[in-house]
Structure 1
Amino acid sequence: MKTTGGTDDQKRRAGERAAELVAEGDVVGLGTGSTAAHAIRAIGRAVDEGLDVRGVPTSFDSRALARQSGIPICSLDEVDGVDLAIDGADQIDADLSAIKGGGAAHAREKVVDAAADRFVVVADPSKVAESLSRPVPVEVLPDTHAAVERDLEGLGGAPTLRRAERKDGPVVTDNGNLLLDCDFGVVEDPASLSTALSGLPGVVEHGLFVDLVDTVYVGTDDGVDVRERG
């Protein structure tokens, strides 16, 4: 359920601008997706020029790209904290609440992003909205997906098991779990919905990121629009 839209140049501007925030000695959370990938490549070029940093990848893909880019990587358990996390989003609203999980990595992303002193989202204009309205990815334990579906319907959602592409069966996350994409329509109160989803038995993590994003860099055709949490 990856999102599309925006141009590669817009994504590149956002990612490269965020990479400029990385300082000597930083531990950096390395997000997942096409826009975050531009940031990872830019950080890799800075490492080639002598910048000393370590990266904490949030997915199989970001780990592979970090290694390819020459960024020393480590796990969250190996560091005292994360100085800066750079990640993408499927949608972000006017209050900087976000929906993530189009790449099925939101559980690990949320752990790393929440641990960071500063969390920066990089996006193209197609990801920006006044209110959140995309289906919310919900990662669930495999044996509980039917029960969680019923609970999500009780919250007013319409859940759909995410199916894999080019293989039979559902998407399986890096953590070995299944994903339900749950359509709630316009999410009027992301904080309340976040709390309700977190309280459902069988839910490992959901894709609502509330009160976590500090800054958003939106790449445009001629620059970067910077939005800060008030």
Structure 2
Amino acid sequence: MSFDDAIKALSLDALKNVKDGHVIGLGSGRAATALVKSLSKYIKTKKIAVKCVPTSMQIKLIAEKGGLELIDADQIDKIDLVFDGADQIDKNKFLIKGGGGALLKENILISAAKKVIIMADSSKFVKDFNRTIPIEVQPSARQIVWKKIERLSGKPELRTLDRGYPFFTENSNIILDCGFGVIKNPKILQQKLLNIPGVIEVGIFTRKPDIIYKAKANGKFEILT
């Protein structure tokens, strides 16, 4: 039994929250991928209909393969449920997201959702954030934003692809992965970063999830509310 077994099991349990007529936001990453692969079979078994809003091309392709009905975020005025993963979860149940580069759309859907369900393995849970913060930046503001992050004691690095080319988000922006050491006050840091002109989105999410699934290495999972 492994984390992957636990993620598969918890994704099946999380689907119990899906109801007929729901509009569902689909996050990105390993846990969200496992859930999306099970969602198509679930709605067919339960004979219900849902519409899904994907947060990235990666998850959109998986959802299309499963025959899920997809819509764009600007076509709806509500989101009943969002399923997503996280790069870290701290003691306040705040999240670091953006490892896959879809932080802007993920935050839009999470902020609009009636219920947010986060799925992550136990290695992602920490007392205080201690990993880099993804920051989506308008490319022409790169140097200005870089300097301002350094003034906040951050250490930015441009996210690149394997061959050294800059990584671009689906919104045609760049990502700066920024180290701040151990972060004691993530909400304050989030606001300071968002106040920098040229910053599009910050990977610190302070909307607390309604349900958190914690996958364990023994193949089991825990539900935190």
RMSD: 1.3
1:209 paired residue number: 205
2:79 paired residue number: 82
Q: Name the TM-score, length of structure 1 as normaliser.
A: 0.92
Deviates more, 1:44-53 or 1:82-91: 44-53
Superposed displacement of residue 222, structure 1: 4.4
1:172 maps to 2:149:
no
SS in 2 for 1:201: coil
1:51 maps to 2:62:
no
SS in 2 for 1:55: strand
Instruction: Please say if residues 35 and 122 of structure 1, whose CA atoms lie closer than 8 Å, have aligned partners that are also in contact.
Output: yes
Alpha-carbon separation, structure 2, partners of 1:35 and 1:225: 14
1:3 paired residue number: none
1:189 maps to 2:181:
no
SS in 2 for 1:20: helix
SS in 2 for 1:117: strand
Deviates more, 1:112-121 or 1:46-55: 46-55
Instruction: Please say if residues 48 and 70 of structure 1, whose CA atoms lie closer than 8 Å, have aligned partners that are also in contact.
Output: no
Percent identical among aligned pairs is 34
2:108 paired residue number: 111
Instruction: Please say if residues 5 and 219 of structure 2, whose CA atoms lie closer than 8 Å, have aligned partners that are also in contact.
Output: no
Alpha-carbon separation, structure 1, partners of 2:95 and 2:136: 16
1:141 maps to 2:138:
yes
Instruction: Please say if residues 3 and 215 of structure 2, whose CA atoms lie closer than 8 Å, have aligned partners that are also in contact.
Output: no
Structure 2: runs of 5+ lacking an equivalent: none
Deviates more, 1:6-15 or 1:60-69: 6-15
Alpha-carbon separation, structure 2, partners of 1:104 and 1:14: 24
Alpha-carbon separation, structure 1, partners of 2:12 and 2:130: 28
Paired residues in the alignment total 222
2:128 to 114, 127, 131: 131
The C-alpha deviation readout for 1:111-141, integer Å capped at 9, x for no partner, is 0111100111101111111111110000000
One-letter code of the match for 1:22?
Answer: V
One-letter code of the match for 1:97?
Answer: F
1:11 to 3, 7, 13: 7
